[in-house]
Structure formats: C-alpha cells, structure tokens
Amino acid sequence: MKTIIFSLLVALSTNLFAQTKDSTRNYYLNIEISLIHPLLGGFGATVGLEKKHFSLGLMAYRIELNHMLKHYLMEGAEELTVFNWGVELYSDYYLKKSHKGLFFGTLLSFNGYRFNDIPVPQTIFALYVAPRIGYRIYLPKKLKKFYFQPAVSLQIMVWDNADKFLYQEIDLNSGFLLSQLTLGMKI
C-alpha cells in the first residue's frame, strides 16, 4: 500500500512539475482556509501547487464533532465527546488551464477520532479514499488572486481500527458525502 501511494505521488509530481520551454513560471502556490470548519468550532487549511490543468496538495483540519456530525459519521458514540482531525493528500484536474470552473479530483484522507472523556482516552484511526468534484470561482479584478472553491466528496473508508476500541463498540460509517467550501489565494 505504501509503495502504491509513493509511486502515485512521484508520478503526479513528475507530471505536474516537469519543465516546459514555453513558460518561465511552471507552477503556482495556492493557500486555502476552510469556511465550514470555523462555523462548526474547528479549523481547516490547505496548501498546494498548481500547474497547467493539475493541482496537488495537502489539507489538514480539526473539529469537535457535534451531535449531528457524530450521528452522520459513526454509530455508538452519541454520549461521548469526539475530536476529529485529518490530514488529506489531494490531486485535482481542472478543465481549464487557468483553474477556473469545474474540476475533478481524488483525496486520500487519514483521520483520527479522539475520545477524551472516557477513563482511558483513545483514538480510532481511519483511512478514506474520496473522489470529489468542485468549481472554482475567482473574485473580481482587484482581488483576482482570491477565489471561492465549493466541492463535494464521497468518502469511502478503506481501513479503520475501530475494532480495537476498548471502551464500547463504535462503528464508523463506511461511506458518506462531505461538502467543502474554501477561500483561497493563488500566489
């Protein structure tokens, strides 16, 4: 599994950052902040690189799950306080070279669900693969480096260690839809 992920990242980065004769600047840096996570009492951010139609990057977030989110993501944790954090690698393909408009991509997400209010605090880890689709909207001319990027992803669990959770039986949902909304800046 590690070899496949490493090979995929090397292949994408080689394709993404190969030198071309027609361009003096081959890539752009993008930085994004999540607009949804702060509304839920957490935070999320993204840093990535873009070239031609492709982008590649890293996302991270942390949030305390409210009752609705706990019910949506797992079963058996209704009375527990759950902190969710995640680190995600993403790769996207934009239909336009300018990265405006529609894009398709994939996420590889490593999540932790931390339970602190039990006698011995424990963390359940999960690995998700997620196809995603979104749309990038740039702001008007004076703010043309800034953009909004709504997206939706289908999180599909490929591994978890919930069976090693000793306090009580917790079942993570094996698939669910997540919406994203970020405010970004292209440098």
Q: What is the pLDDT of residues 113-137, one digit of tens each?
A: 999 888 888 999 999 999 999 999 9
Backbone phi and psi for residue 168, each to the nearest 5 degrees, phi listed first: -160, 170
Q: Which residue has the higher pLDDT, 107 or 6?
A: 107
Residue 157 belongs to domain with CATH number: 2.40.160.20
Neighbours of 111 (CB within 10 A): 21
CA 15 to chain centre: 21
The number of distinct structural domains making up the chain is 1
Question: What is the pTM assigned to this prediction?
Answer: 0.81
The string of pLDDT tens digits covering residues 5-56 is: 554 445 445 444 444 444 566 889 999 999 999 998 999 999 999 999 999 9
Show the domain range for 63: 2-18+25-186
Question: For residue 24, what pLDDT is reported?
Answer: 63
Question: For residue 2, what pLDDT is reported?
Answer: 53
Compute the distance between CA of residue 183 and CA of residue 150 in angstroms, rounded to an integer. Answer: 9
